[in-house]
Amino acid sequence: MKVSTKGRYALRMLLDLAEHKGDGFISLKEIAERQNISKQYLEQIVSLLNTSNILRTNRGKQGGYMLAKEPSEYNVRDILRITEGNLAPVTCLEEEVNTCEKVATCKTIALWKGLNDVISEYLSGVTLKDMLEQAGENVDNWVI
């Protein structure tokens, strides 16, 4: 599994929104400037995130984006699945049912499944709040 720029930038964008949660709706222009990411690229990411009800949007002069839930309710696995699709380390684990013709005799499938489980469990256990706290931000004192 290799996380693309889209996945990394989506995390940065959502962390920015979490960090500025008390500021109301935040424009993509502000996020782009703070994160040094193209506004056009953020627009592509927003279109992915909007289909998953991760963001609240407001149009107009005071328009922008904010998180729909608390930062503690967003885990990295779910965010990356939206932006990256499947996070499986090998193609034979990308679908719910493994249709590989060699799955019954594969001597490596247990290794890949174990790795997939470890990745999924780890990313599920890390929230936006955790990431901000690790970076030294105190998210418990925010005005919501």
pLDDT on residue 61 = 82
Which residue did the predictor score with more confidence, 45 or 138? 45
Q: Which one-letter amino acid corresponds to residue 104?
A: A
Token pair 């706290």 is found at: 133
What is the value of pTM for the model shown?
0.87
Convert the pLDDT of each residue in 121-134 to its tens digit.
999 999 999 999 98
Convert the pLDDT of each residue in 50-87 to its tens digit.
888 899 998 888 889 999 999 999 999 999 999 998 89
Convert the pLDDT of each residue in 1-21 to its tens digit.
789 999 999 999 999 999 999
pLDDT on residue 136 = 81
At 101, list the tokens. Answer: 């013709």
DSSP 95: S
pLDDT on residue 100 = 86
Q: Look at residue 139 and tell me whether its pLDDT is greater than 60.
A: no
Convert the pLDDT of each residue in 27-46 to its tens digit.
999 999 999 999 999 999 99
Q: Look at residue 144 and tell me whether its pLDDT is greater than 70.
A: no
Token pair 């790795």 is found at: 115
What does the alpha-carbon distance between residue 118 and residue 54 come to, in Å, rounded to a whole number? 25
Domains in the chain, start-ordered, CATH in brackets?
5-86+127-141 (1.10.10.10)
Q: Which residues contact 14 (CB under 8 A, 6 or more apart)?
A: 49, 54, 67, 74, 79, 128
Length of the chain, please? 144
